[in-house]
A and B are shown apart, each in its own frame.
Chain A
Amino acid sequence: MFEAVAFYLFAALTIVMFTITVMTSQALYALTAMAAGMIFISAFFFILGADFLGAIQIIVYTGAVMALYAFGMMFFDTTRNVIEKRNNPRFVVILGGLAAVLVVLIVLAPIVTTDLNAHYPIDTSVGNSQAIGMVLFTKYLVPFEVAAVMLLVAMIAGIVLAGKKMDKSLTLMADEEIALMHALSHDTTEEKGGH
């Protein structure tokens, strides 16, 4: 009973928050509404007994991803209203509905057609975090390591992209401009060395 009440409450809250995220013209409203929606999503994980996943959801999304977006938005002009081009809203709604039906069919199809066996059955004798650790570090060790390498690559890419001198495109510049830029950078380094 309480489970159902919690489910409907958080379902309504999540849908409202994500609708605000999608529909608002203010970037800051969208950011805060999405942060709230992410926290409400973690409630479903706790209801479903996936405690570790819920904790990870809060830490990664509302902690890391939202902070990253907040820092990123400092670079952009967020006080201005976002300009949207809406040429055919009915088309968008029809496509969205069709895609949702398609997703339901895709998710339901294997459940309806075959009787499934659990590869890694849920073990009630240990806690969720412990069981997750046992499955993750035995059966899913290789994907785990690959994900770690991918995160490292993403971190380096983020550092390099947000670094200095990435705002100049060598492909879009003429040869003279590139030569001028090189000459200027040599001058400045020599000055620094002289002092």
Chain B
Amino acid sequence: MELTLNHYLVLSAVLFAIGLIGVMRRKNLLMLFFATEILLNAVNVGMAAISHYRGDYTGQMFAFFIIAIAASEVAVGLGLLIVWYKRTGKIDLDQMTSMRG
């Protein structure tokens, strides 16, 4: 049984779908961040697989930059979340309505 690129792409799509379901069903912002991490990781698997099966380093390079972006997203996002929690005591998406006119 030989593994092909399609195996990895299907896995990547499944993981992406799991992350997407998480993004759509979570109302807690911390859990929403977890789901976005899953999305980024799913894409990374696809990138590395294409890099391997096409014999090109570009996929791995993009995976590195995605990891860097994910790390900075977590730092800024968690900082904002802590500020919001200190102000309101809640991190629910539905209650972030202070910009309603």
Contact = CB atoms under 8 A, between A and B. Distances in A.
Contacts of A122: 51-52, 55-57
A53 B63 contact: yes
Nearest to A159: B79
A184 interface: no
B78 A158 contact: yes
B72 A153 contact: yes
Interface residues of A, number: 85
Interface residues of B, number: 74
A96 B24 contact: yes
B19 to A, nearest CB: 7
Contacts of B96: none
Given A4-B2, A92-B21, A21 B34 contact: yes
A13 B3 CA distance: 18
5 nearest A-B residue pairs (beta carbon): A161-B79, A154-B72, A167-B86, A22-B22, A118-B56
Interface of A: 1, 3-4, 7, 11, 14-15, 18-19, 21-22, 27, 30-31, 34, 37-38, 41, 44-45, 48-50, 52-53, 56-57, 60-61, 64-65, 68-69, 72-73, 75-76, 82-86, 89, 92-93, 95-97, 99-101, 103-104, 107-108, 111, 116, 118-122, 131-132, 135-136, 140, 143, 147, 150-151, 153-155, 157-162, 166-169, 172
Interface of B: 1-3, 5, 7-22, 24-28, 30-31, 33-35, 37-38, 41, 44-46, 48-52, 54-58, 60-61, 63-65, 67-76, 78-83, 85-87, 91-92, 94, 98
